Structure 1
Amino acid sequence: MARYTGPKTRIARKFGEPIFGEDKVLAKKNYAPGQHGQNRRRKTSEYGTQLREKQKAKYTYGVLEKYFRNLFDKAARTKGITGEVLLQLLESRLDNVVFRLGIAPTRAAARQLVLHRHITVNGQVVNIASYHVKPGDVVGVRERSKSLEVIADALAGFNHSKYPWIEWDESSKSGKLLHVPAREDIPENIKEQLIVELYSK
């Protein structure tokens, strides 16, 4: 499956936020990339602002346009506030849940763990990053993968209480999705209403 593999720091600087995780370069150069990055004063149009928000969401969750559009259409058909439902669907992706559980340091690393068959859902190995995790599902580390250094390093010192919609069991190295997260519990700085306005044109 296709995914973005280009320069991540450049994208983070474009949005002025560490959307791929902590970035030392972003801390030093918190302005847009390129020769005129520091001097850019041009006012962004309404369309430009909406497009920027959509791109930020896509890069944050590591998805491409076609998948994102299909997910938006699904959110629009679902009962509730479309923008909020869209973020909840993105949060329910298996690679994102693995990231939120602290099993991987980034979503990209979580995606790799899923694709390499290190992750189970309800005891069964699942290697589809976009798999939709439902409330009550238990996401864990495959038995023979529990000794992997990358997983041990990620879990060391991770605060599992910061996401109230998931419950972590240290003894089994698994977490349970208790319920779909409310919008106020999702920490991403995304203005989802702008995405709804963009797609509604």
Structure 2
Amino acid sequence: MARHTGPVCRLCRREGLKLYLKGEKCYTDKCPVSRRNYAPGQHGKARKKLSNFGMQLREKQKVRRFYGVSEKKMRRYFKEADKMDGITGENLLKLLELRLDNVVYRLGLASSRPEARQLVNHGHFLVNGRKVDVASYRATVGDVIEVKEKSKNSPKFKELVEKHQGKTPQWLELDTEKMQGKVIAEPAREDIEIPIEDHLIVELYSK
């Protein structure tokens, strides 16, 4: 994704919900979305009635920011999802959920998706015993993701695993002692953390 250098909390406020881009801060009273639940800027409090296109655009932007992908990459995912069997919108979300940075975050080995992307890029993880430093790498059923041996002694990873116990989604399996996770199934539609009307994204890209 083109690197966002501004305050990420503004992105959450723009979408009107928490995208969990700041890790622990998102779960505290300091979260700007909880304190100022309106869009940023001078006219943020003004109520605006969105057109059909506006609703489609906001839904697409919400998903892009949630998973941290560029517009170019998002379109590629859509084209691939459209060629797959099944419902295009659900296929799109499944492809995004299977990104390695998202899997790392969902396993609790990072406090946020941006942090997971950084940790993956810095080479802290192995997939099936081999180092993978590409955040967009697509995990498949049976893949084993683990913290590399040199990083396992880091207090950061130990703290993250302890805090995340019991929060692993059903399609993933986590061994806290080994700091190792496994993809045991493909993610289902109900596994998505935020409310997304994927049909609006499909309508937008189908024009």
TM-score, normalising length: structure 1:
0.95
**Paired residue type of 1:11:** L
2:182 pairs with one of 176, 184, 201? 176
Runs of 4+ with >6 A deviation: none
What CA deviation, in whole Å up to 9, does each residue of 1:114-146 have, x standing for no partner?
A: 011100101111000000000000011000001
Aligned residues of 1:3 and 1:62 also touching (Cα < 8 A): no
Aligned residues of 2:56 and 2:200 also touching (Cα < 8 A): yes
**Paired residue type of 2:95:** L
In the other structure, the counterpart of 1:109 is 115
C-alpha RMSD of matched pairs (Å): 1.4
Q: Mean alpha-carbon deviation: is it higher for 13-22 or for 107-116?
A: 13-22
Is 1:16 matched with 2:22? no
**Paired residue type of 1:105:** S
Measure how far apart 1:7 and its partner are: 1.9
Is 1:29 matched with 2:41? no
Go from structure 1 to structure 2 and tell me whether the alpha carbon gap of 1:192 and 1:176 turns closer, same or farther (over 3 Å shift).
Answer: same
What CA deviation, in whole Å up to 9, does each residue of 1:39-87 have, x standing for no partner?
A: x122110000000000000000000000000010000001110000000
**Paired residue type of 2:126:** T
In the other structure, the counterpart of 1:150 is 156
Counterpart mapping for 1:59-138 below 5 A = 59-138=65-144
Aligned residues of 1:4 and 1:62 also touching (Cα < 8 A): no
**Paired residue type of 1:183:** R
**Any unmatched runs of 5+ in structure 1?**
none
Percent of aligned pairs with the same amino acid: 49
C-alpha separation in 1, matches of 2:154 and 2:5: 24
In the other structure, the counterpart of 1:139 is 145
Aligned residues of 1:3 and 1:64 also touching (Cα < 8 A): no
Any idea what SS the aligned residue of 1:157 has?
helix
Any idea what SS the aligned residue of 1:12 has?
helix
C-alpha separation in 2, matches of 1:27 and 1:161: 23
In the other structure, the counterpart of 2:3 is 3
Aligned residues of 2:127 and 2:145 also touching (Cα < 8 A): yes
Count, aligned residues:
200
